Each structure stands twice: as C-alpha cells, then as structure tokens.
Structure 1
Amino acid sequence: MKRRERTRHLIELGGLVMKAGLVELVDDDRAVILGLLGEAAARLRAEDRAQQLLLWRRRGQRMFAAESLPVQG
C-alpha cells in the first residue's frame, strides 16, 4: 500500500510541474526543471522563508482557482 501511495504522490507532483507550464517553457529540459526547483529550495533556506512561502502559496491558489473556472470564449 505504501508503494501505491508514493506512486500517486509522485504522479501528483509531476502534474504540478506540468500545470505550471514548466515542461513546455523549457522544452522538457529536465536539468533546467531541476535547477528551477533547486533555486526554489535555496530561497526557502533564506531568512525570508515565510514571506516566500506566502507569496508562492497565494500564486498557486490563484492558479488553481483560474483552472477551475469555466472557459469563456
């Protein structure tokens, strides 16, 4: 069961990378994606960690909310 939960978790995290548009923006360059994630991790080790988390959380919530709205056109 643990293996299935871990697999689901990894798939969900990969889905977030896709939703953010990173795959297309960097032409599926995994070294760039890892570098971006490493940069985010470094920022979270800085003194303004709480502020950075708040900013990214709000941005992510807006992205989720925008995705759930019906497409108008």
Structure 2
Amino acid sequence: MAQAKLQQAVRRAEAAQRRTDTRGWVVQRRERTRHLIELGGLVQKAGLVDLADDDRATLYGAMLELAAKARDENTGDVLALWKRRGKRAFDAEAEAGEEQPDDG
C-alpha cells in the first residue's frame, strides 16, 4: 500500500516535471503542438469536418485545392480576401457570444 502511494507520487512528480520542462526542444514541440491544435480547431470551426464527414483525404484535398487556387490567382488579393472574411467571422462570433445570456 505504501509502495503504491510512493509510486503514484513519483509518477505525479515526473508528470509535473514534463509539464514544466523548459528545454528548448520541449518548448518548441509544445508550441508546435498548440499551433496544430489551433489550426485543427479552425478546420472544425469552419464546418469542414462535418461537411467532409470527417474524411481526412477529402479535407486534405480541399486544402490542397485552396493552396493551388491561391498560387494560381493573384496571391495577395486572394489571401487578403480570405483574411477579411475570417476577421468578419471572428468578429461576428465574438458579438454573438457577448449577446448570449449567462447561465450562471
């Protein structure tokens, strides 16, 4: 019993050490992971996951198509248009969130 508690405490300490590890490669990996999660959230938020029925090949193909379109057309104009649309959507969501009554 005491040994099990000791092992559990050791595992907790090791987990805490991993969370606070500040070595360069660990920090970079953590930042990259966070960035990838945020990008995945945007794919979800845009409704692409539901639209493609969570099919990764379809999602990847759609993203390749977007990248090709941006390269083929006037890249600066296309990216500026997409950025404006994205900002408007973020602003609309923020406003809608402010209008929601608090349940608490």
Whose Rg is larger? 2
RMSD: 1.6
Distance 2:50 2:68 in 1: 24
Q: 1:42 corresponds to which residue?
A: 68
* Large movers: runs of 4+ above 6 Å: none
Show the 5 A alignment for 1:1-73.
1-70=27-96
Which of the pair is proportionally richer in helix?
Answer: 2
Unaligned runs of 5+ in 1: none
Distance 1:38 1:70 in 2: 32
Distance 1:40 1:52 in 2: 10
Distance 2:88 2:73 in 1: 25
Size of the aligned set, in residue pairs, is: 73
Unaligned runs of 5+ in 2: 1-26
Measured after TM superposition, the shift of residue 16 of structure 1 is 0.5
Distance 1:16 1:70 in 2: 18
Measured after TM superposition, the shift of residue 70 of structure 1 is 2.9
